Amino acid sequence: MPSYRRNRVPGGTYFFTVNLLDRGSDLLVAHIDELRQAVRQTRSRSPFHIDAWVVLPEHMHCVWTLPVGDADFPARWKAIKATFSRSLPAIETRSATMCLRGERGVWQRRYWEHTIRDEQDYAAHMDYTHFNPVKHGLARHPADWAFSSFRRCVEAGVYPASWAGSDGEPPETGERR
């Protein structure tokens, strides 16, 4: 079995992609209130700053900054995933291995994590996160997607309201770099 190594930087900023096991599902947006509650509960016990977040039907992207001296994002993801899964009725199909491990079969076991290196990397991943609903054909403009921090970032002056209006995907966004 491979040994996955995570780059843990105390107080670091990270980009994440987290997927449902069923990539054809709309579970995340159908149960957005339960997901939000799972995040709130986790943040109340283990604080972190949400720089950006977008929830799509079957996956989500986010940028977090952890408190100074704290690098334990895996425990936070474990708590979010477990709390969300427990809030749902147990109707998903599970393999024998999942049953033995006590897994619900809601989430993919692993997630993608990237440590933000500098301001340019930060901007690229913020842009990637907010442009994702447009990229997937779920919205015409980032502000049109309800399950995103984009409008909050506009209010904070991070983006102009017209960002990504008619020019298509901004250059140098996230995962393509």
Kindly report, residue by residue over 45-63, the tens digit of the pLDDT. 999 999 999 999 999 999 9
Q: Residue 177: its pLDDT value, please? A: 42
Mark the ranges of the chain whose per-residue pLDDT is less than 70: 1-4, 94, 98-99, 165-177
Domain boundaries, the chain: 13-176
Q: Say what the pLDDT of residue 160 is.
A: 93
> Which CATH topology does 13-176 take?
Alpha-Beta Plaits (3.30.70)
pTM of the complete model: 0.89
Residue pLDDT, tens place only, 131-154: 999 999 999 999 999 999 999 999
C-beta separation of 35 from 84 below 8 A: yes
pLDDT at residue number 164: 79
Residue 99: per-residue pLDDT: 63
